[in-house]
Chain A
Amino acid sequence: MAATFAWDRDHGTQTGSPTRGTTTSAGVTNVNWKNSDTEATAYSAAPITAGNNSYDNWMFGHFSGTYNSILNGLFAHTATAFGTGLTLVGTPACTGDGDRLLYTTPSATANANLTTDMTSAVSIGSGVAVFFSGTGPYATGKASSTTDNPAYTNYLTTQLQTDVSAAPGDTATVTLTLQYDEN
């Protein structure tokens, strides 16, 4: 037996304490940075004009199924370069419960809390540390390993920022990787 993994994404106005999104989209399969926070809006219908930013994207990992523990999390952009004028910023490393990003209502304003420059593809070993806990990505008690089931990563938030030199049309298709161990 093995853990079952899914990417989920929070949306909407921040709510609760610790803050989280109003709604969660479960089992998402891509990021599609866009000028919208609405899951159902196609990225092609909400393009980012050169010089603007995408809405920040509040994805996280979700574990269920059968496992003893989930541990050793790393998150990085691992394949395919972005074009000129595109900068991907992302969550800082989570190496303590207090490091986890607190959800803020997504917007196209630059999110200064996303201090990891994820523009270059790097080996996963150069990724940022990811912590885990039960309850949700927002929950306290994040640690480098968890036996909770279901379990969640901290928010693995990203935002695509552009300058006026960004080319029109789709960006290259890049790969973001979450690496973890299970036992």
Chain B
Amino acid sequence: MMHTKQAFCSICQAVTEHSAALDKNNEIALTCKTCSHLFGKHPLTDDPAELQRWIDAHQSNAGQVTVETAAAAQAVHDERFKKLMGIA
């Protein structure tokens, strides 16, 4: 059975729609419908609030700087510096 949940995707860095399904181990698997990233798994529970707390806790990934992002930002700074020094 396929359902959807709004959840924060650490790859998209945004709240996106996730598919929610029970996997073969009867764990709830959420997968981002935008980027197909597996959000994670939660043991089956009868408590909707518990599931929501788990989803909400993932917001701690908001604003993370990936190594690709950091490298791109550094490249911009390096380019500006080279231009300043007349190297470019």
Report the Cα distance A84→B35, complex, angstroms: 11
B41/A161 in contact, CB under 8 A: yes
A51, A87, A121, A128: the one contacting B37 at CB < 8 Å is: A87
CB distance from B26 to the nearest CB of A (A): 10
Known A117-B61, A163-B31: A112·B43 in contact at CB below 8 Å: yes
User: Could you tell me which residues of chain B, from 16 to 45, have a CB within 8 Å of some CB in chain A?
Assistant: 23-25, 27, 29, 31, 36-43
CB distance from A137 to the nearest CB of B (A): 20
Report the Cα distance A172→B25, complex, angstroms: 25
Main DSSP-derived SS at the B contact region: mixed
How many of chain B's residues touch chain A, expressed as a range?
20 to 34
Q: Is B81 an interface residue (CB 8 A)?
A: no
Across-interface contacts of A125 in B (CB, < 8 A): 65
Q: Is A93 an interface residue (CB 8 A)?
A: yes
Across-interface contacts of B66 in A (CB, < 8 A): 120-123, 126
A117/B70 in contact, CB under 8 A: no
Report the Cα distance A120→B58, complex, angstroms: 14
B40/A89 in contact, CB under 8 A: yes
Closest-by-CB residue of A relative to B74 is A123
Q: Give the A-binding residues of B (Cβ under 8 A).
A: 10-11, 23-25, 27, 29, 31, 36-43, 50, 54, 57-58, 60-61, 63-70
Q: Can you sample 17 A-B contacts with CB below 8 Å?
A: A51-B23, A109-B25, A109-B27, A109-B43, A115-B54, A115-B57, A115-B58, A115-B60, A116-B58, A117-B61, A119-B10, A119-B11, A121-B66, A123-B70, A125-B65, A128-B60, A163-B31
Q: What 5 pairs between A and B have smallest CB-CB spacing?
A: A110-B41, A115-B57, A117-B10, A126-B64, A87-B38
